[in-house]
Amino acid sequence: MIRGILSILWLVAGTLPAAASVATLAFWSTVSDDDKSRWQKEGFDVVAFGCDADDAACIVDGLASLAPAEKRFLITGADSSGAVARLYAAGLKAETVSGVALMRAHGVQDFQVALPADAPKLTVFVEKSDAGTDVASAQNLVAAFRRQGVTSSLKFFDPQMMEATPVHPGVVAGISHFMGYAPQSELLMKLLTANELWPHLGHNNKGFLGETAYLTTKPMTDPVRTFLLRHFQQGPHVGKQWAFATYRSFDLLAYRDAVAPGTKYVSFRTRFGQFMAFDLDQYAAYGPEIVVGVDDETNMYQLAWYYWNDLMYSWETKVPNISAKPLGPALVFTKPVPDSLQLPFRQRTALHLKGMSFSKDDPLAKMKSYPENIQTIITKSNECIYCHSIEGVGGQNYHLNAYTAQPQGGFALALEDYSDDVMHAFLFNQEEVARKVGLSPNPIDPMLVQEFHNWVSALKKPE
């Protein structure tokens, strides 16, 4: 398991060096003397309009009264959510205010008007401890703005940060980054930037959504919800962004029967280069389907969290950028699958239509010629075949750069392509190797590791 960063890592938050008037912070209502002093020490001009939470006209007048400044940012709270929406709908432009930071949000419906192309960016901040309904409401607002073409994002603070007085250093770092001023911590800066960039990058599940004959909207069930939320188990607060009340189902069996009648096996290659294949007829009784939408979210790749590794490969010194781990379309079963037939979790996520294929013959047939212990290791206990290829069969797992949505390295090589030194260290000293790279270990049964090492060594082609 990779080391996950499921929210903003405020423990490493730094503050800005003092500077003169780097930007103007305009607070919707009031700001305490302690907080005003803290922001001024960070180099910001601070004004407070003293407007009622729902008085958008007061804000328009306040912004018009400000002295010229290169950057202005409006800061407000959840009770102003509706007024913020009206400000944007009335034509708020980036030349008037560079961005709006909303501390929580609720009660805003989707927009029915076109927003200006140069509307200022929006970030909604919430706390990880906030109720799920409140976080989902904030995400709904962010998604509504995003659909209108506004650069928008949702960011998490640790509990009690937003209520701290004077203002918490993590809040200073988060809002400062939003305003374009990097925190002293390079890691924090990268995480915050990834959080802003990823929602606007290219991965989507339009392939599945284009096959409308096989789509049905269904009420969410407990088994399906539990499976999807497992993606966020290292940071359950991230999963709060979606209500998981309904889902869009893609009928895998009907699609197979229409496009590849008479075939038996289905193969998947995920957006992470992972691979999985199984007998679809054998699993038909358990109701296989692919979740391609949740609630109003049609792009399952928006349901993401972020992580980092210390190294790209154990034998190199190259450090990767922040990576994204989107949920993407996911294979689920509507009926309980016996333990003996359970399929690996990660290979059931991040699916895409072009990565799915059907065949009459078993793509994993070659594995059945291997010794029984080897079969168990590569397909069951350690699941090697799903990330690595073996004699041309299997996957090539990699990491997705959260800034570009493209593979950035860490490619899982074919098992027979690893050097003797790398393979030996991985098998016999895996705790140290995993710690060096920033991964969780996947140890092979000590009673079988030597047998596996000998087997892998025998796979290597003669020089």
Give the model's pLDDT for residue 3: 54
User: 204 by DSSP, 3-state: which?
Assistant: coil
Q: Are 208 and 250 in contact (CB under 8 A)?
A: yes
Q: What pLDDT sits at residue 111?
A: 66
What span, in angstroms and rounded, lies between the C-alpha atoms of 346 and 364? 18
> Do 90 and 224 reside in the same domain of the chain?
no
Same-domain check for residues 318 and 266? yes
Quick one: average pLDDT of 420-448? Answer: 92
Domain final position from 161, 177, 200: 200
Q: Are residues 13 and 36 in the same domain?
A: yes
Reported as a pLDDT band with limits 50, 70 and 90, residue 149 is confident
What DSSP character marks residue 377?
I
In terms of pLDDT, which residue wins out, 157 or 183? 157
Above 60 in pLDDT, residue 4? no
DSSP 53-101: TT-HHHHHHHHHHSPP-S-EEEEEEGGGHHHHHHHHHTT--TTT-SEEE
Residue 27 lies in a domain: yes
Based on the fold, state whether residues 88 and 157 are members of the same structural domain: yes
Domain contains 451: no
Residue 224 in any domain: the answer is: yes
Q: Give the list of residues 6+ apart from residue 113 with CB closer than 8 angstroms, or none.
A: 89
Last residue of a domain, one of 369, 393, 412: 412
> Is residue 63 within 8 Å of residue 194, measured between CB atoms?
no
**Residue 371 Cα to chain centre, angstroms:** 39
- For 381-434, give the DSSP string: IS-GGGTSEETTEE----EEETTTSSEEE-----GGGS-HHHHHHHHHSHHHHH
pLDDT higher than threshold 50 for residue 9: no
- Residue 20 is predicted with a pLDDT of 44
Q: Which of 412, 431, 450 marks a domain boundary?
A: 412
Q: At 201, is the pLDDT very low, low, confident or very high (cuts 50, 70, 90)?
A: confident
Instruction: State what percent of residues in the chain have pLDDT above 90.
Output: 74
Q: Is the dihedral angle over the CA atoms 210, 212, 213, 215 positive or is it negative? A: positive
Q: Which token pair is 80?
A: 């102003």
Geometric angle at alpha carbon 329, from 191 and 366, rounded to 5°: 105
Q: What integer pLDDT is reported at residue 455 of this predicted model?
A: 96
**One domain, residues 183 and 210:** no
Do residue 186 and residue 217 come from a single domain? no
The pLDDT, as a whole number, for residue 19 is 45
Biggest alpha carbon distance in the chain? Answer: 79
Mean pLDDT of 78-83: 94
The token pair that represents 9 in the structure block: 């890592």
* Whether pLDDT at 10 is above 70: no
**What average pLDDT does this structure show over 23-44?**
93
325 touches 349 (CB < 8 A): no
In a domain, 420, yes or no: no
Number of folded domains that form the chain: 2
Residues 25 and 138 in one domain: yes
What is the span of the domain harbouring residue 44? 4-200
The pLDDT of residue 392: 94
What per-residue confidence (pLDDT) applies to 440? 87
The band of 460, judged by pLDDT with boundaries at 50, 70 and 90, is: confident
CA 214, 218, 224, 230 dihedral sign is positive
- Residue-wise pLDDT for 256-291, tens only, equals 999 999 999 999 999 999 999 999 999 999 999 999
pLDDT in tens, 304-343: 888 888 998 999 888 888 999 999 999 999 999 999 999 9
pLDDT of residue 414: 95
Q: What is the mean pLDDT of the chain?
A: 90
Per-residue confidence (pLDDT) for residue 462, from 0 to 100: 58
Beta strands in 227-322 (DSSP E): 246-250, 265-269, 275-279, 288-294, 304-307
pLDDT in the model for residue 263: 98
Q: Determine which of 17-31, 134-148, 171-185, 427-441 has the lowest per-residue pLDDT on average.
A: 17-31
178 plus 288 within the same structural domain:
no
Same domain, 212 and 121: no
Q: Given a cut of 80, is residue 252 above it in pLDDT?
A: yes
Pair 38, 180 in one domain? yes
Same domain, 394 and 250: yes
Phi, psi angle pair for 158, to nearest 5°: -70, 160
Kindly report, residue by residue over 357-415, the tens digit of the pLDDT.
999 999 999 999 999 999 999 999 999 999 999 999 999 999 999 999 999 989 999 99
pLDDT (tens digit, 9 = 90+) per residue, 105-131?
987 766 677 888 899 999 999 999 999
Does 424 map to a domain? no
For the purposes of burial, counting CB atoms within 10 Å of the CB of 125, is it exposed (0-12), middle (13-18) or buried (19 or more)? Answer: buried
Rama region for 349: left / alpha / beta (φ>0; ψ in -120 to 50; rest):
beta
